[in-house]
């Protein structure tokens, strides 16, 4: 491993089908007012809402509810949540849902007492909260896997007016204080959202894996996570209530993006940058946007990272190397990835996500260009990748 790094993850995880008692214990550490935030109401249909409310009542909490968090949380919704949190002077934000709800809770936690436009400060200027700024603690009850938001500082917000969808990775002060992971809570997620989450996990791993040329322990961890995900996802698409498969996927999702496998590495993230720009224009399901552009992107950078792509084929997909060039192996690895994507049922192009030819120039303009991968993209290269992904 090369370079120097510091690793710290302050989030406490509770895992398993008996985590409600852990929520009761955690609630004793916070003041009386709790902002309960969730999405469109599915937690009321599957019974999770009643379990959480029961715990809050048993703990004697005063509950302020904020529902309707959309799959791609907006600046308008952020303003609403920040105002509610500050007006009620809440002591804890409890996010019940998937990555969007948890991302949103983190954004509200820093926006409530910010004192200036949180979109400009945190997302455009990419600043951290001021050292003396009050940040509301966040706790999570995870109901959909994919983003890893339950154990990281990431928060993605969409500004429809500006046609921008931008992520900010906050530091330790904003990361969830605790997260409850019950695999059974994920059983009722609709199939499309379930498989989108599966690819989001894969994309998180790939974007940290396809970089660097040194012998890095993080890459070996990433390969193990990918193998586990591939195996368990195949079981889960056949039987979404396979507890073992769903528990393994839930655990893989957390470790895919809690910063561990990125230690000591450069990181790419251009697939997510292109996917987020698509999301700003279409509000397409996250997970499907990176899946829609991944094949075109990875074919584009394959010559620059040939050795790693060849390793991906043998270490992740068990493709025999004998008698093959690195280029042949690398291409077989990408074909195996594509076959798995089709098998689980995620998008492999972007037209089905609502992208039109007329949007491509704007999406290319809205894509943030990052260093860290095998090559730095230009705006024209992004546009070419978008066209190939149609």
Average pLDDT over residues 335-363: 97
Delineate the domains of the chain, giving CATH numbers in brackets. 12-186 (3.40.50.1970), 194-389 (1.20.1090.10)
Contact 112, 132 (CB under 8 A): no
Residue whose entry in the numeric block shows the structure tokens 């950078």:
301
| pLDDT band per the 50, 70, 90 thresholds, residue 104 | very high
Task: Measure CA 97 to chain center.
Answer: 13
Q: 267-326: per-residue pLDDT in tens? A: 999 999 999 999 999 999 989 999 999 999 999 999 999 999 999 999 999 999 999 999
CA dihedral (103, 81, 70, 288) in degrees, to 10, reads -20
| pLDDT band per the 50, 70, 90 thresholds, residue 42 | confident
Strand partners, 140: 95, 179
Task: Measure CA 273 to chain center.
Answer: 12
Q: Return mean pLDDT, the chain.
A: 95
How far, in Å, are 54, 304, 350 from residue 190 at the CA level?
Answer: 25, 38, 21
Residues with Cβ within 8 Å of 142's Cβ and at least 6 positions away in sequence, in order, are 97, 98, 102, 150, 179, 180, 181, 182, 185, 186, 250
Average pLDDT over residues 161-172: 92
- What is the percentage of the chain residues whose pLDDT exceeds 90? 93
Q: What is the pLDDT of residue 40?
A: 83
Q: 311-331: per-residue pLDDT in tens? A: 999 999 999 999 999 999 999
CA atoms within 13 A on the CB side of 170: 32
Q: What is the pLDDT of residue 161?
A: 92
Contact 39, 101 (CB under 8 A): yes
Phi/psi-derived region of residue 103, left when phi > 0, alpha when psi is between -120 and 50, beta in every other case: alpha
Contact 369, 346 (CB under 8 A): no
Number of Cβ within a 10 Å radius of residue 84: 17
Average pLDDT over residues 141-169: 94
Q: Which of 133, 49, 28 is nearest to 86 (CA)?
A: 133
Is 2 a residue whose pLDDT tops 80? no
Q: Which two tokens stand for residue 151?
A: 């154990």
Average pLDDT over residues 86-102: 96
Task: Measure CA 107 to chain center.
Answer: 14
Average pLDDT over residues 48-70: 95
Q: Which two tokens stand for residue 354?
A: 């609502």
| pLDDT band per the 50, 70, 90 thresholds, residue 211 | very high
Q: Which two tokens stand for residue 262?
A: 């990125």
pTM: 0.95
Residue whose entry in the numeric block shows the structure tokens 């037209």:
351
Strand partners, 169: 154
Average pLDDT over residues 104-120: 96
How far, in Å, are 14, 52, 89, 102, 352 from residue 59 at the CA level?
Answer: 18, 11, 18, 22, 46
Q: 217-262: per-residue pLDDT in tens? A: 999 999 999 999 999 999 999 999 999 999 999 999 999 999 999 9
- 286 φ, ψ (degrees, to nearest 5): -65, 140
Strand, coil or helix: 377: coil
Contact 59, 138 (CB under 8 A): no
- Determine whether 91 is exposed, middle or buried from the number of CB atoms within 10 Å of its CB (0-12, 13-18, 19+): middle
Is 352 a residue whose pLDDT tops 90? yes
Q: What is the pLDDT of residue 50?
A: 94
Q: What is the pLDDT of residue 367?
A: 96
């Amino acid at each position: 491993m090369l370079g120097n790094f510091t690793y710290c993850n302050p989030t406490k995880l509770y895992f398993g089908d008996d985590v409600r008692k852990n929520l009761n214990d955690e609630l004793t550490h916070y003041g009386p007012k709790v902002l309960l935030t969730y999405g469109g109401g599915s937690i009321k249909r599957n019974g999770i809402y009643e379990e959480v409310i029961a715990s809050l009542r048993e703990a004697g909490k005063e509950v302020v509810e904020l529902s309707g968090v959309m799959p791609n949380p907006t600046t308008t919704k952020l303003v609403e949540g920040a105002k509610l949190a500050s007006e009620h002077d809440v002591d804890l934000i409890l996010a019940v849902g998937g990555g969007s709800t948890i991302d949103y809770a983190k954004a509200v936690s820093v926006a409530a007492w910010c004192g200036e436009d949180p979109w400009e400060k945190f997302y455009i200027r990419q600043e951290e909260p001021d050292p003396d700024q009050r940040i509301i603690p966040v706790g999570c009850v995870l109901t959909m896997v994919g983003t890893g938001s339950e154990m990281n500082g990431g928060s993605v917000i969409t500004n429809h007016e500006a046609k921008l969808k931008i992520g900010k990775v906050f530091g330790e002060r904003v990361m969830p204080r605790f997260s409850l992971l019950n695999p059974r809570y994920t059983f009722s997620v609709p199939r499309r959202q379930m498989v989108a989450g599966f690819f989001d996990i894969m994309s998180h791993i790939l974007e940290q894996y396809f970089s660097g040329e040194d012998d890095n322990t993080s890459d070996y961890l990433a390969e193990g996570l990918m193998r586990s995900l591939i195996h368990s996802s195949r079981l889960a698409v056949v039987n979404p209530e396979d507890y073992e498969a769903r528990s393994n996927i839930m655990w893989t999702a957390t470790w895919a993006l809690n910063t561990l496998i990125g230690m000591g590495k450069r990181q790419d993230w251009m697939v997510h940058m292109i996917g987020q720009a698509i999301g700003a224009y279409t509000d397409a399901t996250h997970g499907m946007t990176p899946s829609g552009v991944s094949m075109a992107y990875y074919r584009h950078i394959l010559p620059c990272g040939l050795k790693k792509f060849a390793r991906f084929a043998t270490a992740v997909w068990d493709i025999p190397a004998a008698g093959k060039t690195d280029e042949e192996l690398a291409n077989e690895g990408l074909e195996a990835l594509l076959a798995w994507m089709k098998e689980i049922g995620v998008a492999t192009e972007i037209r089905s996500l609502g992208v039109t030819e007329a949007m491509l120039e704007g999406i290319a303009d809205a894509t943030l260009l990052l260093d860290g991968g095998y090559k730095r993209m230009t705006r024209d290269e992004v546009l070419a990748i978008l066209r190939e992904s149609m």
